[in-house]
């Protein structure tokens, strides 16, 4: 039976195989090839549904990780959610009442590059010039180019145009395909212990009050799980609590009609927040990251189910 350990950060090939194995083993899981990365890696996602996405009374919840390559701890968080929704199911309602889309490795080229060559690589592996890579979280078509870099050598380079990169276009296509029923989208990043919402230009969405409310509920669920090095989560608009940022995937999800859309920033390595060392992952935290993030996902998903049924 398929199963992945939570003592190491798994590579692309292992996760890719695992998603296929899950779909071959569990009737409610399907695996899809969403397209290929710049270097030709297949970008796969799974769906989890007891009704094969045919029951339009169910909301869709989408989870995503590794849009930024170096943010390794986000992968076990997503894999843990898969484990709890497919293999070790203790929350039946979440499996029955919700259709799930889970995209564990949104940026496979950058991710592999961060394993083989440059641990702190963030972008994809687009060949721009002598500097490579586009920041995929600046490449979505949402006030594109207004709070990002025009310099291909910058870590926040936004690309030649919105959706110039296959990896961001793939996420766009998934969001569009499910726009009518997508109620909650969580793009998992690190680090900073934050639950962020749009927009990255300081503008608030019309439902900001509800978005903030759910953000606080999710953050509190994580904070209730104690881990010595963790800080309490901060909740807020990305531009107000972090910085201005254009072209972000979670902001783009909102304008496609997803009412609840967040960027999670998981905790840093040993509480380090001032240097890239914060992207390192303590082996003991791999399981913990999955466990505590799942607490927030559960809260978000149950809220999404209730809210969708009141529509």
Residues that bind Zn ion (CB under 5 A): 68, 189
CB closer to ligand 0X9, 89 vs 131: 131
Q: Which partner in Zn ion, ligand 0X9, none is near 250 (CB below 5 to 8 A by kind)?
A: ligand 0X9
| Structure-block tokens of residue 308 | 């969708």
| Structure-block tokens of residue 234 | 């901060």
Taking the complex as a whole, how short is the minimal distance between the CB of residue 3 and Zn ion, in angstroms?
Answer: 28
Burial class (CB in 10 A: 0-12, 13-18, 19+), 234: middle
CB closer to ligand 0X9, 191 vs 303: 191
Identified catalytic residue from 39, 265, 282, 295: 265
Contacts of 105 (CB under 8 A, 6+ apart): 12, 15, 16, 43, 44, 65, 66, 75, 111
Taking the complex as a whole, how short is the minimal distance between the CB of residue 41 and ligand 0X9, in angstroms?
Answer: 21
**CA triple 255-64-273, angle to 5 deg:** 100
Active site annotation includes 91: no
Q: Give me the residue whose beta carbon is nearest to ligand 0X9.
A: 248
CB closer to Zn ion, 196 vs 221: 196
Taking the complex as a whole, how short is the minimal distance between the CB of residue 201 and ligand 0X9, in angstroms?
Answer: 9
- Footprint of ligand 0X9 (CB under 6 A): 68, 71, 137, 189, 196, 198, 200, 238, 245, 248, 250-251, 263, 265
Contacts of 120 (CB under 8 A, 6+ apart): 70, 114, 276, 279
Q: Which partner in ligand 0X9, Zn ion, none is near 183 (CB below 5 to 8 A by kind)?
A: none
Give the C-alpha separation, 240 to 248, whole Å.
15
CB closer to ligand 0X9, 137 vs 288: 137
Q: Which partner in Zn ion, ligand 0X9, none is near 59 (CB below 5 to 8 A by kind)?
A: none
For residue 198, which of 134, 148, 241 has the smallest C-alpha distance? 241
Give the C-alpha separation, 74 to 77, whole Å.
5
Taking the complex as a whole, how short is the minimal distance between the CB of residue 68 and ligand 0X9, in angstroms?
Answer: 5
| Structure-block tokens of residue 256 | 């496609």
CB closer to Zn ion, 82 vs 196: 196
Cβ pair 279, 190 in contact under 8 A: yes
Q: CA-CA distances (angstroms) from residue 69 to 60, 72, 119, 122, 150?
A: 26, 7, 9, 5, 20
Q: Which partner in ligand 0X9, Zn ion, none is near 263 (CB below 5 to 8 A by kind)?
A: ligand 0X9
Taking the complex as a whole, how short is the minimal distance between the CB of residue 125 and ligand 0X9, in angstroms?
Answer: 17
Residue positions annotated with a catalytic role: 265
């Amino acid at each position: 039976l398929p199963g992945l350990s939570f003592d190491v950060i798994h590579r692309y090939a292992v996760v890719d195989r695992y998603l296929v194995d899950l779909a071959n083993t569990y009737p409610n899981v399907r695996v899809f090839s969403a397209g290929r990365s710049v270097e030709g890696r297949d970008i796969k996602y799974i769906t989890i549904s007891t009704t094969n996405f045919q029951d339009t009374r169910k909301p869709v919840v989408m989870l995503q990780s590794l849009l930024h390559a170096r943010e390794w701890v986000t992968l076990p968080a997503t894999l843990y959610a898969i484990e709890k929704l497919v293999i070790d199911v203790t929350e039946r309602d979440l499996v029955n009442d919700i259709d799930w889309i889970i995209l564990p490795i949104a940026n496979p080229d950058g991710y592999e590059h961060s394993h083989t060559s440059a641990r702190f690589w963030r972008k994809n592996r687009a060949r721009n010039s002598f500097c490579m890579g586009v920041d995929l979280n600046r490449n979505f078509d949402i006030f594109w180019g207004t709070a990002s870099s025009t310099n291909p050598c910058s870590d926040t380079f936004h690309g030649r145009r919105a959706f110039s990169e296959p990896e961001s276009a793939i996420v766009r296509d998934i969001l569009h395909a499910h726009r009518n029923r997508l109620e909650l989208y969580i793009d998992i990043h690190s680090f900073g212990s934050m639950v962020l919402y749009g927009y990255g230009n300081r503008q608030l969405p019309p439902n900001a009050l509800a978005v903030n409310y759910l953000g606080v509920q999710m953050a509190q669920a994580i904070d209730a799980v104690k881990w010595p090095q963790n800080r309490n989560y901060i909740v807020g608009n990305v531009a107000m609590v972090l910085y201005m940022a254009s072209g972000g995937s979670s902001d783009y999800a909102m304008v496609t009609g997803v009412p609840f859309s967040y960027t999670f920033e998981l905790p840093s390595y040993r509480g380090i927040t001032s240097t890239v060392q914060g992207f390192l992952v303590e082996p003991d935290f791999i399981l913990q990251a999955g466990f505590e993030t799942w607490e927030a996902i559960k809260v978000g998903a149950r809220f999404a189910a209730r809210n969708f049924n009141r529509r």
